[in-house]
A and B are shown apart, each in its own frame.
Chain A
Amino acid sequence: MRDVYIAAAAVEPFGKHPDRNAGELGQAALRRLFASIDLDPGRVDIGFGGSTFGGSLLTQRAMQGVGISGPPMFTIENACASGGSAVNLAFSAVAAGSSDCAIAFGAENLSSLGGGALPLSAKDIEADLGMVMPAAYAMRAQRYLSDFGAKSDVLDAVTEKNRANGAHNPRAHFQKTVTVDEVRASRSVADPLRLLHCCPNTDGAAALLIGTRELIEELGQPAVRIVASITRSGQFNNGYRDMTWPDITARSATAAYAMAGIQPGDVDFAELHDAFSISELLHAEALGFADRGDAHRRTLNGDFHRGGPLPLNPSGGLLSRGHPVGATGVTQICESYWQLVGESEPELQLGSVRTALTHVTGGGIFGVDNGACSIHILRSE
């Protein structure tokens, strides 16, 4: 397997873009990507676009906007992990030697769906009974708080932390801090989750150029290697699952750490899937960043703040950036890349960091924790 590097990253700022469809948003991110490097688009030999609601042939529509047509292109739908899955496939193509210069992007326009909870498949038995994603995470939250003696204050604290991080991110949907009092005053969506415990519906796109060591040297780009790239599906189980233990994330993380040859303690910071405040606690534990049932204490202790020993979601997370479903997994990697090469905005930039983990997971279907999960580990060399 060949070593695989990130050669360039670009994000079309997230927010409300009702006048641009997913293909147009993807084009905008790709134009930013090519504006940042001196590369003939004809060199791109494969493309993967992640999107859940972007429609047929999204990848072709977006890539045509930067003069790329002809090479193999694939549009990847894997719910919230669509973008991470697209990166995983681009990684695999370069690692296998079938591609030297690959594009992976994610793009989504959720404004076209109207407001409220994202639509789930009507064919799903739980959706047919009125299940919505906030309710699924609300039940996990109730059980987590009950099992581990945590108080709902910790959910407020996660939102406060991530919104404070996102306040410095010019690419975030929400660039404004919130206080815990404002979180508690927001309307209830599904007890114990309130509106400000939930990420917003957002439009946006992000893109990566992924290639060989030779490619980054030719472009004069810094060396950030993808040392792990993993996608897993949810294990179908109708029994008494522990819903406070996201097993798909735990299995993906075990595989990613083995691929990278590192331990959770070697990670300097992480961008993880905080679609709801409770998600950050569940995923911090499943990723090995906190002992079982201890993420709530570690959060309140400030361990996951940007000044703490393990910053989580220093770019603001989904709670600030928003969640243009297919773009989320790609933008996490863009933000982490800029941290590792020291090109984040001064207010966003962490101190000396070398190893980053990104984690995206989702898909609300019956019988699994999530439908799909992608984890990437990046290391600056």
Chain B
Amino acid sequence: MITVAPERTTSPKQHIRSAGGNHVVEADGTVRLRITRCSRCESMWFPARDVCGSCGSTDISADLVGPTGTVYAATIVRVDAPGGYRGPYVLAYLDVDGVRTLAHMHADGGAVIAPGLPIRLESRIVADDADTVVYSYVALPIRGDLL
């Protein structure tokens, strides 16, 4: 596992954690997701599993997918959620090389986050309060495709 959090100065009181499934941060900051492929039924799983969730087979292999994908659907959450999440924040379901995953999304103000929007994944901070800093993979619109 070579998940790496980007360097950041935190206050001594802050606890740093990573949220979401296992992933790999490349040297350029982009993220690839560590998935499982089932050799029997061809299901794909993220987060990675030791048993196929569809057929129960343990004949599985590991792979990496991403860093690009598309938005299936997105919403701006305007309430707070447990874990240090303070609204507003954007959540999106992403389609990444055959797996559907939930992630936070960072977009410039005014950018329309519509189904089908192409994105790339990078490691970013998704929650930051007095007690905790949370890192995860975050979807960013791929510039050239923003209308």
Contact = CB atoms under 8 A, between A and B. Distances in A.
Interface in B104-134: 104, 114-115, 126-127
B53 A130 contact: no
Interface in A113-130: 116-117, 119, 122, 125-130
B72 A240 contact: yes
A189 B75 CA distance: 10
A142 B136 contact: no
A129 B115 CA distance: 20
Contact of A241 (B76, B79, B100, B102): B100
Contacts of B127: 130
A129 B19 contact: yes
Contacts of B46: 238
A142 B74 contact: yes
Interface string A225-240: 0000000000011111
The A contact surface, by secondary structure, is: loop
B82 A240 contact: no
A135 B91 contact: yes
A188 B78 CA distance: 7
B85 A236 contact: no
B126 A129 contact: yes
Interface in A206-246: 236-241, 243
A176 interface: no
A237 B73 contact: no
A188 B54 CA distance: 37
Interface in A85-125: 116-117, 119, 122, 125
A143 B82 contact: no
Contacts of A366: 102
A130 B54 contact: no
A366 B103 CA distance: 12
Given A189-B78, A190-B78, A129 B47 contact: no
B44 interface: yes
Interface residues of B, number: 39
Nearest to B136: A129
Nearest to B84: A130
A236 B145 CA distance: 32
B98 A139 contact: no
B91 A129 contact: yes
A130 B93 contact: no
B74 to A, nearest CB: 7
B77 interface: yes
Contacts of B79: 116-117, 132, 134, 189-190
Given A128-B83, A139-B93, A146-B115, 19 more contacts: A119-B82, A129-B20, A129-B103, A129-B126, A129-B136, A130-B126, A130-B127, A132-B79, A135-B75, A139-B72, A139-B73, A146-B114, A188-B76, A188-B78, A193-B75, A238-B44, A238-B46, A239-B43, A243-B73
26 contacts: A125-B21, A125-B47, A125-B102, A127-B82, A127-B83, A129-B136, A130-B89, A130-B104, A130-B126, A130-B127, A134-B77, A135-B75, A138-B77, A139-B74, A139-B75, A139-B93, A142-B74, A143-B72, A143-B73, A187-B78, A192-B75, A193-B75, A236-B54, A239-B100, A240-B95, A240-B98
